Amino acid sequence: MRLNALLSLFLSSISSVHSILADEAYHIDYHHALLGIPQAETTFFHQPSASSNASLLYTISEKAIIGAVNPKDGSVVWRQSLADPLPEPASVVEEAVKLPDEEQQKALRSIGPAKAGLLAEEGSGFVVSYYGSAVSAWDAMNGKLAWQRLMPQGQHVKSALLIPSGRDTSSSSAVDVLVLHGTEGGTVTRLDASSGAVVWEYEDRSGASPRYLASTKNSIYYVSEQSAVLAANSMKIVSLDTENGREDKGHVLKVDEVVTVTSCPNAAFISGHGRSPRSMKVNVLGSDKVNTLNLERSNDGEIEAVSILPGCGDSSPSHILVHVQTRDGAWAEVFNIDSESAEVRKAYSLPYLKAKDAFAVSIIDGKPHFTRITDVEIELYSFASGIVVARWPRNQPSFGGPGHAQAEVVLRGQSNYAIRISEVATGGEWTLMRNGELVWSRPEMLAHVVAAAWVDDVSGEALAHELDFEGHENPLRAYTHRLKRHLRDLEYLPAWLQQLPSSVTSGLLTSKAETEKGLLGHKLLVVATSTGQHVALDPAKAGAIKWKRLAQAASDEARAVSLYVHDGVVTSYVDRLGIMTINATDGRDISFDQSDAHFTGVIIAPGPVAPVAYRISRDGQPNTTAISDVARDGTYLVTRSASGQEVQGWMVGRSNIKLWTFSSAAGSRITNVVARPAHDPVSSIGKVLGDRSVLYKYLSPNLVLITSTKRDSFTIYLLDSITGTILYSATHQDADTSSPIPSVLSENWFTYSFFGTSDAKSPSKCHQLVIVELYESPIPNDRGPLGSSSANYSSFSPGSITKPHTITQSFVITQPISHMSVTQTAQGITSRQLLCTLPDLNAIIAIPRYLLDPRRPVDRDPTREEIEEGLFRYSPVLDLDPKFFLSHSREVVGIQKIISAPTLLESTSLVFGFGGLDVFGTRVTPSKAFDVLGKGFNKLALIGTVAALGLGTAVLAPMVRRKAVERGWRL
């Protein structure tokens, strides 16, 4: 403690800005540049330019990110976000709260969710995407936006197609874009794909809700759903003239619940089936004939899912593959579609396999070939007969089973096939296999990370326990204990001696990076995604995946709430699913408890024997699994109700008593509740001033900071969480409360950031960062009303809750901050850094704490004593120095949470950011790496010098001895 205080004093005097050195960038940090889990319909291989044969993988993911990936190494060539801002992840606060009123909610429901689609035509040089109400064309090579067309407000694009333009290709592009949008009565718009200009528009005034577009070489079909009152499940199909968009003819067709519309150059068709289908109805658009296809097989179980894969070759007839899945296995039926007679005939079936599989279609010489991917092998079927023509064993099963896949098949010679498969596994991993061998894999499930926790290396803990024992025993017993321990350790001596030479040589040869890994400790990072995966990342190995686990019976609604790590066991609390315990070292399941799986949060409190997990129900009430399983008496919890609008203080133990409730006032909402980090050591209880007097810090582990927003103002409340007393509050008028107001609380200070006016007189707004420091008393050397005794106190005893003396300063920053966090080190000696996410720059920065000192002198130069204290003149604008950027030149998109953890080295703190899309990790040394030998240290030179000195001594010693003897004889 004393040493700590001295050290921290020394360290705080190191005020130079630490930055990432050029040789550290890309070595100490790691970044998974993600796209999100690719969607089946919007992922394909495509050649971006006509001049080259090389193709890229294009996708629009579930996160509405459009991007191109190099199939050779899996690196992102370009990516763009279609949704701005990124879609919010499911957070603890329920979605309904986020929408202010019911009207808006209703409006949103009528529009329906934003649908994404991606279109590309060979040789056109661009890809066209639609999402929400925007249609955009992107340069296929570099992802630059060529043009964008916005549909009228509130009209989502339902479907889009590329059709041949039929114009002179020298002046305009060879294809046009056909877009369907609207809610009641759709509009079909034909856009020139080179400029986005409208060619023609067709408006449907019938009031039917538009659904699909389809096209063949000769015609365009517009499919709309009749209102349920008139006729349930009936579709109106209208064919349109390609030249001018005039309505040709139309007819109404009755189909089943689940409808798919597929376009091929020769035939477009609509298919429908019930929820648990035995058969399927297919209609070739343009005819009235409805073909019923029987899908049932004997003894294969009930059909659960049916999907259609079109195999559109140039030749007629077109093929469709119907992929039928039962509970245990799957098979496929291939049908021929005769566009002339509008008949659908069964061609052949592909065999039933008792495994999960995925199908992909690829066109070779204008003929569709079907590829079947299972966990074991890849089979390529002949297009004509359905016989396997090529088979490749897989060297690695997919994560959670094959989800969907895209294949690129090359035929060399007569029967020598080569295949490249891009597969998106159910677990969210995107892999590319060449002839069955894994080329790369992208962990796209990490785009959905909602919770993360650090796992400590447990191997050193036994020693720590023993040392702890020795520290607390009487000297004699401790000594004998230590002696025994060393005697026990002797058995490892021979082995240690054996490996000594090799460890010495390896110690000389290993790079600095490897030595540092040993110094920092072997921490693992376990993350849980909203889609039910648990993944362990190794921060020491550039964030490589150590293990991954898919939750059993994960559902779309399940949502990981909290991760808790204890003794090498990860406990994951998943709302609506249950509690999973996983071995942290290898990811194996230990147990899975599905009882009482509804909770919005989890609090771990110490119990008499083992830590007790309190689950927070929707109304904020803490519960334990068993009545007997309770925390120690005098344990207090702070909970937040599911709506987020109530913060409650509880005393738990044998009975749970609600002590206080903090509710948002009428017309305001609680947006943020933060407490001090669980691990937040303070090295010095006071701040030493220039004249060597001490300002005592207001240190309470029970502080909680609540942000409550109104229409155009917000208030920050600092509460004592035991009694619920408000210790401090500040209201900012004319602030933008629609953007996030991040805040962080640590040690004896808190900061928050917002966009608002800086003073009441001027209307101009700016991004501001406010820092508030809390002290016991405004007078130096005074420990406040509680006096100088360092005795323990109870929050409930009269006069024990004192209001802190606060010192505040605010700074203007040039960038909005969306999330804040603070670095943590083992003992809190190292000065802290404020970690902030800058969403506009896609960056993470670390602002040194000394810059944010509210005692900086305003409008005058600092006095000598203030300089000694490390204070310098206040300037209202806080420049975000490029040296602050932890993400340096990387584009770290959508970080919504940053966590930090101490390492074995006091100087170093690990940082990990996740949440929206990317995951990023690095390590920071806020006071420089003061406990590690620098790069300038030359191990070889040192050893060489010692060796040379030893050699010199060895040579000179006999000479000196001889001389001494001679001198003795001479006298």
* Residue of the chain from 221, 269, 383, 636 that contacts other proteins (CB under 8 A): 636
Cβ atoms of 14 and 928 closer than 8 Å: yes
**Residue 630 interacts with other proteins (CB under 8 A): yes or no:** no
- For 840-882, the DSSP string reads TTTEEEEEEGGGG-TTSPSSSPPPHHHHHHT-----SB----G
| Contacts of other proteins in 409-468 (CB under 8 A) | 453
Q: How far is the CB of 490 from other proteins (least distance, A)?
A: 39
Which CB sits closer to other proteins, 233 or 725?
725
Among residues 393, 373, 387, the alpha carbon closest in space to that of 415 is found at: 387
Which CB sits closer to other proteins, 9 or 478?
9
Cβ atoms of 249 and 238 closer than 8 Å: yes
Q: How far is the CB of 461 from other proteins (least distance, A)?
A: 21
Q: How far is the CB of 850 from other proteins (least distance, A)?
A: 18
Q: How far is the CB of 557 from other proteins (least distance, A)?
A: 20
Which CB sits closer to other proteins, 128 or 450?
450
Candidates 161-169, 205-213, 313-321, 633-641: pick the segment binding other proteins (CB under 8 A): 633-641
Which CB sits closer to other proteins, 424 or 682?
682
**Residue 5 interacts with other proteins (CB under 8 A): yes or no:** yes
Cβ atoms of 531 and 447 closer than 8 Å: no
Cβ atoms of 481 and 73 closer than 8 Å: no
Which CB sits closer to other proteins, 342 or 705?
705
Q: Which two tokens stand for residue 10?
A: 């020394």
Among residues 121, 118, 116, 117, the alpha carbon closest in space to that of 46 is found at: 121
- The CA-CA-CA angle for residues 759, 764, 766, to 5°, reads 85
Distance in angstroms (rounded) separating the CA atoms of residues 788 and 767: 40
Helix (H) or strand (E) holding 951: helix 939-970
* Residue of the chain from 28, 64, 605, 716 that contacts other proteins (CB under 8 A): 605
Q: How far is the CB of 722 from other proteins (least distance, A)?
A: 5
* Residue of the chain from 34, 135, 347, 603 that contacts other proteins (CB under 8 A): 603
**Residue 767 interacts with other proteins (CB under 8 A): yes or no:** no
* Residue of the chain from 55, 61, 287, 721 that contacts other proteins (CB under 8 A): 721
Count of residues engaged in binding other proteins, rule: CB under 8 A: 55
Q: Give phi and psi for 41, each to the nearest 5.
A: -75, -20
Among residues 40, 64, 41, 68, the alpha carbon closest in space to that of 54 is found at: 68
Cβ atoms of 674 and 749 closer than 8 Å: no
Among residues 818, 926, 894, 632, the alpha carbon closest in space to that of 87 is found at: 894
* Residue of the chain from 83, 97, 353, 699 that contacts other proteins (CB under 8 A): 699
**Residue 684 interacts with other proteins (CB under 8 A): yes or no:** yes
Q: How far is the CB of 676 from other proteins (least distance, A)?
A: 9
* Residue of the chain from 487, 627, 666, 678 that contacts other proteins (CB under 8 A): 678
Q: How far is the CB of 425 from other proteins (least distance, A)?
A: 29
Lay out the site mask for other proteins across 367-406 (x = CB under 8 A, - = otherwise).
----------------------------------------
| Contacts of other proteins in 897-936 (CB under 8 A) | none
Candidates 132-140, 699-707, 750-758, 955-963: pick the segment binding other proteins (CB under 8 A): 699-707
Cβ atoms of 386 and 362 closer than 8 Å: no
Q: How far is the CB of 261 from other proteins (least distance, A)?
A: 47
Burial (Cβ within 10 Å: 0-12, 13-18, ≥19) of residue 763: exposed
**Sign of the dihedral defined by the CA atoms of residues 690, 693, 698, 700, in that order:** positive
Distance in angstroms (rounded) separating the CA atoms of residues 744 and 836: 10
**Residue 635 interacts with other proteins (CB under 8 A): yes or no:** yes
Lay out the site mask for other proteins across 774-813 (x = CB under 8 A, - = otherwise).
------xx----x-xxxxxxxxx-----------------
Which CB sits closer to other proteins, 248 or 691?
691
* Residue of the chain from 262, 287, 562, 753 that contacts other proteins (CB under 8 A): 562
Q: How far is the CB of 575 from other proteins (least distance, A)?
A: 12
Q: Which two tokens stand for residue 297?
A: 């097989």
| Contacts of other proteins in 640-659 (CB under 8 A) | 640, 649
C-alpha distance from residue 644 to each of 208, 639, 664, 705, 706 (Å)? 40, 9, 9, 14, 11
Which CB sits closer to other proteins, 89 or 313?
89
Which CB sits closer to other proteins, 92 or 807?
92
Distance in angstroms (rounded) separating the CA atoms of residues 187 and 190: 10
Burial (Cβ within 10 Å: 0-12, 13-18, ≥19) of residue 462: exposed
* Residue of the chain from 519, 685, 730, 878 that contacts other proteins (CB under 8 A): 685
Candidates 701-709, 766-774, 933-941, 943-951: pick the segment binding other proteins (CB under 8 A): 701-709
Which CB sits closer to other proteins, 112 or 634?
634
Pairing status of strand 449-455 against strand 437-443: unpaired
* Residue of the chain from 563, 580, 829, 844 that contacts other proteins (CB under 8 A): 563
Which CB sits closer to other proteins, 722 or 845?
722
**Is the bond leading into 778 cis (omega within 30 degrees of zero)?**
no
Distance in angstroms (rounded) separating the CA atoms of residues 448 and 123: 34
Helix (H) or strand (E) holding 180: strand 175-181
Question: How many other β-carbons are positioned within 10 Å of the β-carbon of residue 48?
Answer: 23
**Residue 97 interacts with other proteins (CB under 8 A): yes or no:** no
- For 287-324, the DSSP string reads S--EEEEE---TTS--EEEEEEEEE--SSSSEEEEEEE
- Residues whose CB falls within 8 Å of the CB of residue 539, separated by 6 or more in sequence, listed in order: 30, 523, 524, 525, 910, 912, 921, 923
**Sign of the dihedral defined by the CA atoms of residues 54, 313, 420, 137, in that order:** positive
Which CB sits closer to other proteins, 65 or 638?
638
Question: How many other β-carbons are positioned within 10 Å of the β-carbon of residue 54?
Answer: 11
* Residue of the chain from 177, 179, 616, 834 that contacts other proteins (CB under 8 A): 616
Q: How far is the CB of 902 from other proteins (least distance, A)?
A: 16
**Residue 560 interacts with other proteins (CB under 8 A): yes or no:** no
Candidates 311-319, 428-436, 637-645, 846-854: pick the segment binding other proteins (CB under 8 A): 637-645
* Residue of the chain from 688, 730, 807, 932 that contacts other proteins (CB under 8 A): 688
- Residues whose CB falls within 8 Å of the CB of residue 819, separated by 6 or more in sequence, listed in order: 740, 742, 836, 837, 895, 896, 897, 898, 915
Q: How far is the CB of 623 from other proteins (least distance, A)?
A: 13
Which CB sits closer to other proteins, 334 or 899?
899
Which CB sits closer to other proteins, 389 or 685?
685
Candidates 169-177, 541-549, 557-565, 590-598: pick the segment binding other proteins (CB under 8 A): 557-565
C-alpha distance from residue 563 to each of 309, 489, 838 (Å)? 40, 36, 26
Q: How far is the CB of 566 from other proteins (least distance, A)?
A: 12
* Residue of the chain from 244, 499, 503, 693 that contacts other proteins (CB under 8 A): 693
Q: How far is the CB of 781 from other proteins (least distance, A)?
A: 4
Which residues contribute to the site for other proteins (CB under 8 A)? 1-2, 4-6, 453, 562-564, 601-605, 614, 616, 634-640, 649, 675, 678, 682, 684-686, 688-689, 691-694, 699-702, 704, 721-722, 780-781, 786, 788-796
